[in-house]
Structure 1
Amino acid sequence: MSEPRYLLIQIRDADDPIRHQEVDCFAAALDCSRDAITVFDLLKQSLQPADLADIDMVMIGGSGRYSVTSDAPWMQVALGSLQRLLDAGKPTFASCWGFQALARAAGGTVIHDLPHAELGSNPVYLTEAGRLDPIFSQLPLRFLAYMGHEDRVIEMPPATTLLASNDNVAQQAFRFDDRPIYCTQFHPELTLDSLMDRIAAYPEYCERIAKIPYEVFRQQCHAATESETLLRVFRDHFLGK
């Protein structure tokens, strides 16, 4: 059986220090070769059906410098691309920026909310629907997840189901009810080491969100190994690997 073909939609500048690390993180999380992942630059291109024709699974990751709440022209183009992705119905896993962007593209509401920002490895719990979901039911009722966000979804799109939550941000994960698309506010593609590398690349996050020095913050973070399994569980369920 040939290796699945993946498309990683990125929202990162050419000089973003995490641009290449993100590809490596998804490859490791999926236990696939880096060559199996095609990168699509959403800042420079508009996604078209032809871009998805030979793709088995789509991923959307985070963003170092771009907010889903923007009304700039690039975001309007990106929302049109994401609507075409939703229409295509390909198996898609979206984390962090991708979670927020697909929520907005499908009619949900996203706001900038620094008081509810999350950074590090934080606890999450399954909703009742999450406990019954074929993907999320593979996780414990409560688990740690890697996070780094200032925006958050406050209203989910129509025809979606909330799968995970916590006491700080209620919308932590949801699925679309009529297509194989799952979205998480957290980053199951990361490990503790790659999370720390990412935060070190954006030191302003520690200053703005955690309000403590990086070295102190690092000691407070713990491995979220259980949520690291999500991408493979998703892939195996929908692609039958």
Structure 2
Amino acid sequence: MNDYRFLLIQIRDADDPIREQEIACFATALDCPASSIGVFDLLNTELQSSHLINYDMVVIGGSGRYSVTSEAPWMYKALVSLQRLLDSGKPVFASCWGFQALARAAGGQVIHDLENAELGTHHVFLTDAGKQDPVFSQLPESFLAYMGHEDRVIELPPGTTLLATNSRVAQQAFRFDHRPVYCTQFHPELTLDSLHKRIEAYPEYCERIAKIPFDEFRRQCEPGPESESILRYFIKHVVG
């Protein structure tokens, strides 16, 4: 285990059944005890530089019920906080909602697109830049990743590089060129078991996206062990 301190930025309601599971998932993926992860509530609090002082790295995951495409006041406050995070120089790894939110905060474009939603395990493919990247070059050219999203990034922000893609959603992973920040549309903090538990907690996802019963969905999912290593590669090559 490493001895870094991590800040998990959450975008979840107090009654969200995945709040605690998300902490445990990141603890496993980051190879640290859960006690090494502090939690920041982005829904109700504006992020300040003082919130980052005691942490070596920041992670952002999914959101449960909140869309990056929202025009509500909380989202605009969150975007200001995320721009402040980008300017801080802290190493950041963002997945799913975090991927989309950092893209929007930095000038990219995100849309709601149920037709191209992804749920379960799907193949992603490294771009040429991904094959040369210090983190993503540790992966095979094609690997399975855990997904659950209806929104997607259709335009990356300036000053970023696309690292992974697939035929349904072109923007699957990117890095900021001059900041220690990586983002994935998929969830490298999950395992097959934690993906199943997450979908069980949000049964409406299976109904709306997969359009099949949960038991059938479960049988279709495959393990994606390569994606489960990404956060450790990030710590080694970016944080360390």
TM bracket, shorter-chain basis: over 0.9
The answer for unaligned runs of 5 or more in structure 2 is none
Alignment of 1:19-58 (within 5 A): 19-58=19-58
Tell me how far apart the structure 2 counterparts of residues 31 and 183 of structure 1 sit (CA, whole Å).
19
Tell me how far apart the structure 1 counterparts of residues 59 and 115 of structure 2 sit (CA, whole Å).
28
Deviation at residue 2 of structure 1 after TM alignment: 7.4
Which residue of structure 1 lines up, in the alignment, with residue 181 of structure 2?
181
Tell me how far apart the structure 1 counterparts of residues 168 and 112 of structure 2 sit (CA, whole Å).
14
Tell me how far apart the structure 2 counterparts of residues 206 and 60 of structure 1 sit (CA, whole Å).
23
Q: TM-score, normalised by structure 2?
A: 0.99
Tell me how far apart the structure 1 counterparts of residues 2 and 66 of structure 2 sit (CA, whole Å).
35
Tell me how far apart the structure 2 counterparts of residues 235 and 52 of structure 1 sit (CA, whole Å).
17
Tell me how far apart the structure 2 counterparts of residues 223 and 38 of structure 1 sit (CA, whole Å).
28
Alignment of 1:116-195 (within 5 A): 116-195=116-195
One-letter amino acid of the structure 2 residue matched with residue 161 of structure 1: T
One-letter amino acid of the structure 1 residue matched with residue 166 of structure 2: N
Q: TM-score, normalised by structure 1?
A: 0.98
For the Cα contact (< 8 Å) 2:2–2:31, is it kept in 1?
A: no
Supply the RMSD in Å over aligned alpha carbons: 1.0
The 4+ residue runs of structure 1 with deviation greater than 4 A are none
Deviation at residue 239 of structure 1 after TM alignment: 2.6
Q: Against the structure 1 CA distance between its residues 219 and 36, is the aligned structure 2 distance closer, same or farther, given a 3 Å change threshold? A: same
Deviations 1:30-79 (A, max 9, x none): 11011100000001110000001121000000011000000101001100
Deviation at residue 218 of structure 1 after TM alignment: 0.3
Say how many residue pairs are matched: 240
Deviations 1:54-109 (A, max 9, x none): 21000000011000000101001100000000000210000000000000000000
One-letter amino acid of the structure 2 residue matched with residue 158 of structure 1: P
The answer for unaligned runs of 5 or more in structure 1 is none
Secondary structure of 1:186's aligned partner:
coil
Deviation at residue 169 of structure 1 after TM alignment: 0.2
Tell me how far apart the structure 1 counterparts of residues 2 and 8 of structure 2 sit (CA, whole Å).
19
Deviation at residue 238 of structure 1 after TM alignment: 2.0
Among the aligned pairs, what percent are the same residue? 72
Tell me how far apart the structure 1 counterparts of residues 120 and 70 of structure 2 sit (CA, whole Å).
24
Is 1:85 aligned to 2:85, yes or no?
yes
